Structure 1
Amino acid sequence: MTTLSKSIFKAYDIRGIVGKTLDANVARQIGHAFGLAALAKDQRKVVIGRDGRLSGPELAAALAQGLQSAGVDVIDLGVVATPMVYFGTQVLGAQSGIMVTGSHNPPDYNGFKMVLAGEAIYGDAITGLYDSILVNGGKLAGTPGSYSTHDIKAEYLQRIIGDVKISRPIKIAVDCGNGVAGAFAGDLYRGMGCDVIELFCDVDGNFPNHHPDPAHPENLQDLIRCLQQTDAEIGLAFDGDGDRLGIVTKDGQIIFPDRQMMLFAEDVLTRHPGEQILYDVKCTRHLAPYIEKSGGVPLMYKTGHSLVKAKLKETGAPLGGEMSGHIFFKDRWYGFDDGLYAGARMLEILTKHADPSALLNALPQSDSTPELHLELKEGENFALMDKLRSDARFPGNERIITIDGLRVEYADGFGLARSSNTTPVIVMRFEAETPEALARIQGQFRDVILAAKPDAVLPF
């Protein structure tokens, strides 16, 4: 039996390694603590679901037992994409939900993404669950909650297909990397009228073909080859639990989510002129001017799906997005991140044009890197980031933004270093107008990181 470890309670979800920091016993305790938190907010029902990971059935069953032991009724959606649990909290008379998912982490990870009384919980609310387990672990309800199952697939697909319309037939390729989105993506896009080529859409928690994380170019190579070898016009890729979207053009260009956001913002602002559009610190410098040109107000914020969702609710913004691929539509949708829905909205935009790839490739861009990871030991990432914030010095008149890590804005580019909240890494990203400027900015970051940690093995 695994001992409960505070280390799995991250900034905006719970993540652990199965058999080491996470097992059925831990899942049961988390369910009980969440159930008590739900009852404290007068929530009597909790929706749960799980992705395709091999540990999912055992953890989801234990989670349900924990919730019931607190006196909460459980509605189990079974194997679903994370956004389908969020959707369930909107339509099933239960405003709270837990998704059992390891997202894009390696196969031996799993975890929980949570919505409590309509709010994505993060920070102290998550560590509060750990504290509750220590204090209330043995307090069982006099009458346990009920357990029922519900198949939400048809309702979810119809909600999207009934609202999002393509302007012309289009052939697309979809790569789900054997993640859970594979159980739904083909049906969704065919239901919209698309001709769909499916890659790795059989759900397999071993992820035998490539890792289900479209943020990394190596995971998109199969999709790029498919577009080269077939008459598909565009490629969509999804992460392991279906809440993030990747896009590849006909000529093999990767359209990272910060550039996707330009088209989404332009479209949304036609219905919400003058509103704020939210984006995270990893996004391109070209996004803010594009939002302004489209009649919106750009607002840079911290990285983290729960944090962005909370900020979206606070500001009333109709759209938010992260470089990692989480896109949040409050316009015509519910404000949660949903890769499958974002893919549908992108197809609605692209099918208004004869050449979708030309439209995407014409979006402003500079020389840039994908996310780069400096691998560290558990906990080291936060200590190093604190040291960089206090000690790092950059030559010149750069603008330094510290809302999440260090983002240094230059006249000709930017560099970013921030601590991941899910794995022990420093995430970095660089962008510049020329390769020379990119090398210069990376050189300055290399200098300050090595000054703080001389043995750091940098990924650039």
Structure 2
Amino acid sequence: MTLIKSISGIRGTIGGKAGDNLTPRDVVEFTAAFGCWLLENGAAPKVVIGRDGRISGPMVSQLVSSTLAGLGIDVVDLGPSTTPTVEMAVPAEKAGAGIIITASHNPENWNALKFLNHKGEFISQADGEALLRLLDSGNISFAEVGRLGAYQRGEGYIQYHLEKILSLPYVDASLVRRQGYKVVVDCINSTGSLALPPLLEALGCEAILLNGEPNGRFAHNPEPLP
């Protein structure tokens, strides 16, 4: 069994038997429980979603956005993005929550849903436990046709994120530029290749990019081991 449910979300390997692996049914059930929990707690009916570069990402993202819309929740889809970019976009969009579709350091055949509150922070243990209880109860109710949620793309948030970094009072970009750094970055063909090169360029660094195509075909295990 490679399906792990926890207070922070759900993760597992793609395909196989529902309930034992991360299948479309599991994605829909967990997303629906999160959406109902969100509405029951009076949060804004809008969720920001974003994903890493895994090849299963588009499929999982479509399931998540359609399920949320079916609950009457609007979706702002950042598409391929980074975890902190999605976190920043949640309050910027005045959304009630966020969902990051990423299995972080796990191998290519894994994926996961990670849940954020309205501040763009990971949900608390108490909120996670309430979500799991709702999931187990099966008490899910979807919206009628006139109340379905809307879908929109969230554009420009990686650039927004980079501008926020560069505007921090303790980031002295001019000082970094004067050093003439050369930086080697291995993005393993995921979404780091969308954010790191422009950040390094803004800091005046010469970037040597390895595995820089965000196609989800990981060049090696993403676990950062020596």
TM norm structure 2: 0.84
Q: Which amino acid aligns with 1:155?
A: Y
Give the direction of change, closer, same or farther, for the CA distance of 1:96–1:6 in structure 2 (3 Å limit). farther
Larger Rg, first or second structure (1 or 2): 1
Query: For 1:68, what is the secondary structure of its paired residue?
Result: helix
Deviation at 1:205, TM superposition (A): 2.1
| Contact 2:32–2:140, Cα closer than 8 Å, also in 1 | no
Equivalent in 140, 148, 161 of residue 166 of structure 2: 161
Equivalent residues of 1:49, 1:100 under 8 A apart: yes
* Unmatched tracts of structure 1, length 5 or more: 218-460
Q: Is residue 205 of structure 1 aligned with residue 216 of structure 2?
A: yes
Local SS of the residue matching 1:46? strand
Residues 2 and 13 of structure 2 are in contact (CA less than 8 Å); yes or no, is this contact kept in structure 1?
Answer: no
Structure number with higher relative contact order (C-alpha < 8 Å, ≥ 6 residues apart): 2
What do the CA deviations read for 1:109-163 (whole angstroms, capped 9, x no partner)?
1001111232412545335434323434551123121111111122122222233
Q: Is the 8 A contact 1:11 1:126 kept in 2?
A: yes
State the AA in 2 paired with 1:171.
Answer: K
User: Which of 145, 150, 157 is the aligned partner of 2:154?
Assistant: 150
| 1:107 counterpart SS class | coil
Separation of aligned partners in 2, 1:136 and 1:31:
12
- Conserved in 1, the CA contact under 8 Å of 2:27 and 2:64? yes
Is 2:33–2:131's contact at 8 Å kept on the other side of the alignment? yes
Which residue of the partner structure matches residue 189 of structure 1? Answer: 200
The question of 1:9 aligning with 2:5 is answered: yes
Q: Deviations over 1:245-276 (max 9, x none)?
A: xxxxxxxxxxxxxxxxxxxxxxxxxxxxxxxx
Change (3 A) 1:59 1:137: farther
Gap change, CA 1:8 and 1:115, over 3 Å in 2: same
Describe how 1:63-74 pairs up with structure 2 within 5 A: 63-74=64-75
Amino acid at match of 2:207: V
- How large is the RMSD of aligned CA atoms in angstroms? 2.1
Distance 2:71 2:136 in 1: 15
Rounded to whole Å, the distance in 1 between the matches of 2:139 and 2:40 is 16
**Match status 1:111 vs 2:112:** yes
SS in 1 for 2:6: coil
TM-aligned CA deviation for residue 13 of structure 1: 3.1
Deviations 1:385-436 (A, max 9, x none): xxxxxxxxxxxxxxxxxxxxxxxxxxxxxxxxxxxxxxxxxxxxxxxxxxxx
TM-score of the two chains, using structure 1 as the length reference: 0.43
* Structure-to-structure mapping, 1:255-270, within 5 angstroms: none
Matched residues in 1 for 2:215 and 2:77: separation?
A: 20
Identity %: 32
Residue 42 of structure 1: how far off its partner (Å)? 2.1
Contact 1:13 1:111 in 2 (8 A): yes
The yes-or-no answer on 1:38 pairing with 2:49 is no
